[in-house]
C-alpha cells in the first residue's frame, strides 16, 4: 500500500458516513412528522453518497482494486473503523437528533479544514460534503434547541440523550501517530483545532437549549481501532445480508 496512514484516515471518514447513514435509513417511514421523515432520509442519502466517494478513494489508495461496495459490505466487524458514536441505536427522536448534532458539529469544522488539504481528491470530497454537512448541522442544532427548550418531556428526553451520548464524543477527536504525520504533511488538520470549534458549537447550542453537559466525563473509545459495541454486529447483519447470502453477484 502506498500510503497506509492516508488509507486509514479516509476509511474512518467513510465508515462514519456509512454506519450513520445506515442507522438513519432505519427511520424511513416511521418519523415523528412527515417533514422529518424526509429530512432524516435526506441526511441518510447524503451520508451514503459521502461513503461511496470516501470508500472508493480508500480503495484507490489501497491499490487492491476494492470499490466502495467491497469495502462497505465485505469486511469483518473488527475491520470497520467508525467511531462508537455513530453505531449507537436510533432510540427515540431526541437520541437520533443528539447523535446527529454531536457528529455534525464535529464534521463541519473537519470538512472546512479538509477543503484545504494538500491532497486534491480529499479536498474535493470535503468540499462537496461540507455543503451537505452545513445543512445537517443547521437542522440538528435547531432541533436540539427546540427539544431542549420545548416541553418538560422533550427537555427530559434531550437531556437523557445527551447524558448517554456524551461519553462517545472524545473518540471523534482521537489521533494516531500516523495521523500526526498526515498533519505535518498538510494533508489533514490537527484534531486539537477541530475540537476547539466543536466545543464552542456544542456549548452555545446546549446553553440555548437549556441542556447541561454531564459532569461524569468518563469517555469510551475503541471504534477507531475496530473494537465496537454489541450494536454494530446487528447493523452489519442487515447491511451485509444480500452480499453474504448471494456472493459475487451484480445487483
CB atoms closer than 10 angstroms to residue 200: 12
Q: How far is the CB of 119 from other proteins (least distance, A)?
A: 23
- Contact assessment for residue 74 and residue 240, using Cβ atoms and an 8 Å cutoff: yes
3-state secondary structure of 56: helix
* Footprint on residues 18-37 left by other proteins (CB under 8 A): 18, 22, 25-26, 28-37
CA distances to 24, 54, 149, 243 from 235, rounded to whole Å, are: 11, 20, 32, 14
Pairwise CA distance, residues 242 & 31, whole Å: 26
Q: How far is the CB of 3 from other proteins (least distance, A)?
A: 24
Residues near 147 by beta carbon (within 8 Å), at least 6 away in sequence: 93, 94, 97, 154, 155, 157, 158, 209
Binding window for other proteins (CB under 8 A); candidates: 110-118, 177-185, 214-222, 243-251 = 243-251
Residues near 154 by beta carbon (within 8 Å), at least 6 away in sequence: 94, 146, 147, 148
Count of residues interacting with other proteins (CB under 8 A) = 49
Among 3, 41, 90, 121, which residue sits at the site for other proteins (rule: CB under 8 A)? 41
Q: Tell me: does residue 79 bind other proteins (CB under 8 A).
A: no
* Footprint on residues 49-68 left by other proteins (CB under 8 A): 49, 51-52, 55, 68
Q: How far is the CB of 232 from other proteins (least distance, A)?
A: 13
Residues near 59 by beta carbon (within 8 Å), at least 6 away in sequence: 65, 66, 67, 68, 70, 71
Q: Tell me: does residue 146 bind other proteins (CB under 8 A).
A: yes
Please measure the distance between the N-terminal and C-terminal CA atoms of the chain and give it in whole angstroms. Answer: 29
Q: Which of 151, 215 has the CB closer to other proteins?
A: 151
Q: Which of 150, 214 has the CB closer to other proteins?
A: 150
Cell numbers representing residue 79 in the block: 475491520
* Footprint on residues 86-125 left by other proteins (CB under 8 A): 92-93
Q: Tell me: does residue 249 bind other proteins (CB under 8 A).
A: yes
> What number of residues does the chain have?
251
Residue numbers at the binding site for other proteins (CB under 8 A): 18, 22, 25-26, 28-38, 41-42, 44-45, 48-49, 51-52, 55, 68-69, 72-73, 92-93, 145-147, 149-151, 153-154, 157, 235, 238-239, 241-243, 246, 249-251
Amino acid at each position: 500500500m502506498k500510503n497506509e496512514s492516508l488509507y486509514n484516515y479516509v476509511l474512518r471518514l467513510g465508515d462514519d458516513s456509512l454506519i450513520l447513514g445506515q442507522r438513519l435509513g432505519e427511520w424511513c417511514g416511521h418519523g415523528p412528522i412527515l417533514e422529518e421523515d424526509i429530512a432524516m432520509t435526506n441526511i441518510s442519502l447524503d451520508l451514503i453518497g459521502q461513503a461511496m466517494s470516501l470508500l472508493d478513494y480508500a480503495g484507490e489508495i489501497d491499490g487492491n482494486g476494492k470499490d466502495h461496495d467491497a469495502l462497505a459490505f465485505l469486511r469483518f466487524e473488527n475491520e470497520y473503523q467508525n467511531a462508537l458514536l455513530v453505531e449507537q441505536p436510533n432510540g427515540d427522536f431526541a437520541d437520533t437528533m443528539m447523535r446527529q448534532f454531536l457528529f455534525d458539529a464535529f464534521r463541519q469544522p473537519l470538512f472546512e479544514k479538509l477543503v484545504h488539504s494538500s491532497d486534491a481528491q480529499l479536498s474535493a470530497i470535503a468540499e462537496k460534503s461540507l455543503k451537505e454537512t452545513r445543512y445537517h448541522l443547521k437542522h440538528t442544532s435547531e432541533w436540539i434547541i427546540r427539544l431542549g427548550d420545548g416541553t418538560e418531556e422533550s427537555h427530559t428526553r434531550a437531556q437523557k440523550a445527551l447524558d448517554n451520548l456524551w461519553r462517545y464524543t472524545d473518540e471523534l477527536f482521537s489521533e494516531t501517530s500516523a495521523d500526526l504525520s498526515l498533519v505535518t504533511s498538510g494533508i489533514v488538520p490537527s484534531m486539537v483545532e477541530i475540537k476547539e470549534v466543536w466545543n464552542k458549537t456544542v456549548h452555545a447550542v446546549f446553553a440555548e437549549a437549556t441542556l447541561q453537559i454531564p459532569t461524569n466525563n468518563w469517555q469510551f473509545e475503541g471504534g477507531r481501532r475496530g473494537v465496537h459495541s454489541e450494536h454494530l454486529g446487528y447493523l452489519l447483519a442487515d447491511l451485509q445480508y444480500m452480499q453474504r447470502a448471494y456472493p459475487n453477484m451484480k445487483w
